[in-house]
Structure 1
């Protein structure tokens, strides 16, 4: 459509005002959406921005513009991501645009060209740089925080807030978020800590998403044109319910006459409807692997001979460093056979190089179907034509819980590839547990607020005291998004308290009696009611049953007092009583509101005070200064930061072998997926060290509970034997056949131990030789190859 002369004039003026944004957009073959254009213009104006838009909408364009601006102005740009896989992906993309010499990568595993003008890094790396006051921040002009909504993550979310609070205010921050319902609140907080920040929202998906339900062998739209749930779907659900006579009071139990399709039948249905490539979410690693096996057994193949040749070449390139003797234990042949057929699984238990291979092949359109856990939805660029959900219940690490509307949106947001598909499809498999009303509720809910999970840790507190002193550190934590949200909720509580107090003043007047003190009269009524309840209740464990006669005597006393009271003769007595009872309820409610307000007022600084009290008691802080112990703590970023530092200063690593060190550290990072072993297998040489570690942890828990803090996680030594053997040179095959841990988990845990060893070396220089030898022993084979950026 051609522009009118007036529209052309406006466009020309805008280009003149924003020459860099215009030059940048001209490099792309497609026109920018309004939210992309507006966001880039705000950045060129020197402002920070919060961009909240649906998955796949193209938010990263704004982040890439920041990198472009940095290059143009001779400044640096840090592009942060929540996970290493996303960092690797963004690194490869930016290298193609800016050249390998101009782009670096810093993750826990990799350090490539870290002094480059544009550096991609995981969020924790930037946080550590800020605390260490490294030189790289001097010429830093822009920080991109991709997937900034991760600050809601209860395990890692605090890192995002630490950066946003403590990054120098002169640096522009480009925050990229999924759609959240309180983006304006988040934006208001960003303005309070970062200065001028513009909020740009977009609800528009570039590729429309259509919701469907697979019920039996019929694939139906979830909604009709006017937004109602499909009447045909409701009719099918109702007609499918039948009764089996002769069981239960209702005359029978219900069952569904709808036969659930098998996974192969589902795949052929998607293939028939041209809904492939698809991501098929199964919230279980074993379920994903079993689904692939089932497809192979049923002879499903979704690729051409030409595609199979390309797949084989990619597999050969990606796994060229993999030792052939490990092929069997890794299930290499079964995995590659499935890939050649266009089918794969994707979950955290896979070997990292296997996962990377699947991601590359899927992005090229060579893998047509991926069975995945929800980890695939965490930012990795793997869009599909269709997303299929087999269940809407998932394991959250502690229990089975329902998928939330926000999670549903994140998962289904992968459907629809910009520039390829004209529409995306989300399909839910119907069952008696997953009916149309549940699916419709998830698909139509648009309220998923971003809630802070921020809380001061020992390492964070030590770093802040080191940098600012205790009082300024306390004030800086009051600037957190968690405290910002708590303060807003306090404002709401204050309004409710004021309403209650107003109502109380009215009720007090209406409950007054001209004959006497009605409160005194009601005291006797309440006493009688409480005594009668006490007489009818069984005593709790350890409580002595009160003598029945004593209770009856007390009741008799209060009844006499009641009848002799002047207010007993009042004709409006029951009306006064109703007002008085309402006043009592209002008083209780108001006291509860005040208690909640007290708990939320300065909640983050008060938590910092409790953490500081423990640090002082254990000798990490003296006055406003850190001791040697405190300085070491500033360099330990692990979840068990305080426990590890205590172990250092108890000399638990002084006379220990490298293999023993690896086994001991495994207890601080390992989180098993099943039940813990009652008696984990531990090398004899580690017995005393493990006992000392558990004893130290117990003492810390005692201190933490005394201060009202959540205790640090208990050490888990279920991986100690396997990690000890790996450090002693045993083969991967011999280790994995003795344990149920998947190879991907084993590799990830070894890499976490390597990271912890690096922190240990930084915290205590006298441990350098020991930690280097330990790293050398475990950074081998598949563990070493998994750190390589392919």
Structure 2
């Protein structure tokens, strides 16, 4: 019988191995971008394996003490029994192509509007709309209080507001002080000539008007937040469509030949990979070089250290990938679309060494890679190679060689174990 099993936080969430006692070294996990606190649901999933059915009366969960450990937070994790489901769904280039191919643009857009992610975004809008109605009611009351028999006091108050803004901005503005002073003097003159300037109750009216205008600015800000959340999923789909059309993957809502190729590539960098295939960046690569190059499309470094890159054709291909990413990033930025993550060269050296036949010990020597991270990244490379085999048949021979070179040893064993 196995006395103890050690697993990384990522692996521990996926294995099903009941035990008498579960020990948590820390209450955080790697989410692909950084270490974040585990959720109550993940805590329950980890500690729920404590206690073997039919053997143990109860199971024990032990959390190692540390200086950064907050007992209140631990109690909250252990006592939470309801876990809100939050959708992280968002359309990708590949998904959009496949939806358009299956249903057409209109039906695909309607389907996305019915997603859980959109429902949750719309639900958040309800609270904002309620605050807007509350602010509008208060604003209207203040408008009544600011009403003046002599004329439009809101207009007069706006002039006062312009002066305050100019005086505040003058400290940071690059404009010449004389220009700002002249503009302020001009507005003061307009104020003195305004019909409301002679009102005996001018200061009271101004106070009410300024509060009303402040509420109006809050209303405008809340309205903008609502607009940014309303139909956010469908809007992302619309922007993705524009890029797909610009890059030649659709034409009048018809899937082009490149579009059919993109439909077979899944992942965060789907469009980058498809564009790299179209640019013929992979055709002149050896099997080992191909492994190193495509690793840039799946890997995410945990630090900012400069990547070590093998010389030769690999550097040429990676330079081409970087240029393609620049074009995609520019197109996304122009449309206010959340940009695709950049290619990461941090795994090129390790993956190239493994594909060249080096041992696991040799590959991991001198870097911060753990065995778990290495195996996970190599499995992702294998998955991408299999996708490329279908999407780019002209690369089949070199891909088959690459698969043979990387799917060996601990990598092959990990696949068999799964």
Scaled by the length of structure 1, the TM-score of the pair is 0.49
Contact 2:32 2:300 in 1 (8 A): no
The Cα of 1:691 is off from its aligned counterpart by: 1.7
Equivalent residue number for residue 316 of structure 1 = none
Give the distance between the partners of 1:556 and 1:647, measured in 2 at CA.
Answer: 60
- Which residue of 2 is the match for residue 475 of structure 1? 110
- 2:346 aligned with 1:711: no
Alignment partner, residue 389 of structure 2: 761
What runs of 5+ residues in structure 2 fail to find an aligned partner? none
SS at match of 2:320: helix
Q: Which one of 354, 365, 373 corresponds to residue 726 of structure 1?
A: 354
Greater percentage in helix: 2
- Work out which structure has the larger RCO, using CA pairs closer than 8 Å and 6 or more positions apart in sequence: 2
Q: Is the 8 A contact 1:374 1:411 kept in 2?
A: no
Q: Deviations over 1:133-176 (max 9, x none)?
A: xxxxxxxxxxxxxxxxxxxxxxxxxxxxxxxxxxxxxxxxxxxx
Aligned 8 A contact 1:683 1:721 in 2? no
The count of aligned residue pairs is 418
Q: CA RMSD in A?
A: 3.0
Q: Residues 115-134 of structure 1 correspond to what in structure 2 (within 5 A)? A: none
CA distance 1:734–1:382, change in 2 (3 Å)? closer
What's the counterpart of residue 671 of structure 1?
A: 300
User: Offset of 1:421 from its aligned partner?
Assistant: 4.4
> Contact 2:125–2:226 (CA<8 Å) still a contact in 1?
yes
Helix, strand or coil for the counterpart of 1:504? helix
* CA distance in 2 between partners of 1:744 and 1:436 (Å): 30
Distance 1:511 1:410, change over 3 A: farther
Select the residue among 122, 146, 150 that pairs with 1:515: 150
Partner of 1:653: 282
* SS of 2:6 mapped into structure 1: strand
Match of 2:168 among 500, 511, 533: 533
Tell whether 2:161 aligns with 1:546.
no
Cα gap change, 1:579 to 1:405, in 2 (>3 Å): farther
Distance in 1 between residues matched to 2:381 and 2:276, nearest whole Å: 16
**Equivalent residue for 2:17?**
382
1:385 to partner: Cα distance: 4.6
Q: Which has the higher strand share?
A: 1
TM-superposition CA deviations, 1:315-340 (whole Å, max 9, x none): xxxxxxxxxxxxxxxxxxxxxxxxxx
Tell me the distance in 1 between the aligned counterparts of 2:118 and 2:240.
17
- The alpha-carbon deviation at position 415 of structure 1 amounts to 4.1
Q: Which residue of 2 aligns with 1:592?
A: 221
1:482 Cα shift?
A: 0.9
In 2, the alpha carbon distance for the partners of 1:593 and 1:669 equals: 38
2:392 and 2:221 mapped to 1: Cα distance?
A: 49
Deviation, 1:672, is 2.6
Residue 371 (structure 2) pairs with residue 743 (structure 1): yes
- Are positions 1:627 and 2:256 aligned together? yes
The 8 Å contact of residues 682 and 717 in structure 1, kept in 2 or not, is answered as no
Describe the shift of the 1:553–1:727 C-alpha distance in structure 2 as closer, same or farther (beyond 3 A). Answer: closer
Matched, 1:771 2:406: no
When Rg is computed on C-alpha atoms for both structures, the one with the higher figure is 1
1:743–1:592: structure 2 CA closer, same or farther, 3 Å change rule?
Answer: same
Aligned partners of 1:387, 1:467: CA distance in 2, in Å?
47
Change (3 A) 1:661 1:435: closer
2:291–2:351 contact (8 Å) kept in structure 1: yes
CA shift, 1:424, in A, is: 4.5
Report 1:317-328 matches (<5 A): none
- Residues 393 and 471 from structure 1, CA distance in 2 versus in 1: closer, same or farther, beyond 3 angstroms? closer
Q: CA deviation at 1:416?
A: 4.6
Over 3 Å counting, the alpha-carbon distance change for 1:437 and 1:579 in structure 2 is: same
Matches within 5 A, 1:560-599: 562=191, 567-568=196-197, 570=199, 572-599=201-228
The two structures have a TM-score, normalised by structure 2, of 0.87
